[in-house]
Amino acid sequence: MMSEPKNRSRSSEAWRIAQPAVELVAALIRRAHWPLALLFVLYLFSGVTAVRTDEVAITLRFGRIVGDTPAERIQSAGLLWALPRPIDEVLRVPTGRVHEVEIADLWRASQYGEEWERPSVSIAPEKEGYCLTGDRNIVQLSLLARYRVADPIAYALLQHDPHALLRDVVQAETVRATGHESIDSVLSEGRKVLGSTVRAESQERLDEVASGLEIISVEIAEFAPPKSVNPAFVEVNTAFIESRQIYIEAERYRETEIPKAEAERDLMLSEARIYAANVIAEARGSSEAFDAILTEFKRSPRVVAERLFIEGVETAFAGAGQRKLVQPPVGDEYHDFRITVSTR
């Protein structure tokens, strides 16, 4: 119910604007000015615009956006009828496309001919771009930025050249971000981090000016020191790659050898535990046997001593073949005692 007065007011406004044109066409027809009437009708229908599927449209009427809410201001794909110029102006905004901007102002200049491509002792700031790192070194780079239109109203009204705006902002933030990094960082592993930092900082700057742009990614397409120091950089970079390879191989060796050593350790511990258990059990058995003999010895010392002597002798001669025992003399007194043992 609230939208009916609004629709009636918008219809009355459109009729108020179009009424003079309709009356003019009717007057031309009454006076038989058919060619002029036809031309005027064609002029009226010149405001019909085809909006593609990857676009939205915004209508400006005398420089002001038509519609009170964002849904009314932004027209989706299809045919859009608006009053002809200069009354209305239809702005088509490509919201469904991903745009790319190449930024090469900080890269080496290649448009000055073959002579310029030869290495020199320094760079020419008036002919090629560069950045200063945080440790006062010079690097040259080119970037590729991808963006889309996030706010079609802001994009259509405020931006005359979005590519130039994005290029300038990304370039400025690249110079700023590079100045906070060391050359070893940005030339080795810091390229992705630098790209992410530049994207985030550039997006903040674009949001501050209500550009309507959303940066999807910023990639470092090319990144190198000046040509005069490029051979030394190649050596350093090669050494870095070799060190990384050695580190990776060492990590792989560690991941292989440590589990193997742990398995051997566990096996040795298990064997030691088994051996300790056997020794303890054997010692406990010997101790129990000794306690039993001691108990018997306390009751009958002579009997136990003779039995132990006999068992000891039997054990000593258990592996012998023929045995001859010499009987002791009468009275059990003799100075020489000989035992002859033959293994045959």
Whole-number pLDDT of residue 280? 93
Do the Cβ atoms of 325 and 312 come closer than 8 Å?
Answer: no
Split at pLDDT 50, 70, 90, the class of 338 is: low
What is the pLDDT at residue 266?
92
Strand-pairing partners, residue 146, are 100, 217
Please tell me whether residue 339 adopts helix, strand or coil conformation: coil
Instruction: Report the run of H or E that residue 119 belongs to, with start and end.
Output: none
120 or 132, which is more confident? Answer: 132
Average pLDDT, the chain: 77
7 or 205: whose pLDDT is higher? 205
Q: Is the dihedral of CA 77, 213, 146, 59 positive or negative?
A: positive
User: How many CA atoms are closer than 13 Å to the CA of 67, on its beta-carbon side?
Assistant: 14
The structure's pTM equals 0.54
Among 6-15, 200-209, 254-263, the range scoring the smallest mean pLDDT is 6-15
Per-residue pLDDT, averaged over 282-303, amounts to 85
The CATH T-level fold of domain 99-113+120-225 is Tetrahydropterin Synthase; Chain A (3.30.479)
The residue-averaged pLDDT of 68-87 equals: 74
Contacts of 77 (CB under 8 A, 6+ apart): 51, 52, 53, 54, 55, 56
Q: Is 222 within 8 Å of 107 (Cβ atoms)?
A: yes
Task: Give CA–CA dist 132/137, Å, rounded.
Answer: 6
Lowest mean pLDDT among 118-122, 205-209, 212-216, 300-304: 118-122
Could you tell me which residues come within 8 angstroms of residue 326 by beta carbon, excluding any fewer than 6 positions away?
Answer: 337, 338, 339, 340
Query: How many other CB atoms are found less than 10 A from the CB of residue 102?
Result: 13
pLDDT confidence of residue 304: 79
Cis peptide before 86 (omega within 30 of 0): yes
pLDDT confidence tier of residue 267, bands split at 50, 70 and 90: very high
At residue 203, the pLDDT reads 94
* Residues of the chain above pLDDT 90, percent: 21
Rounded distance between C-alpha atoms, residue 233 and residue 246, angstroms: 20
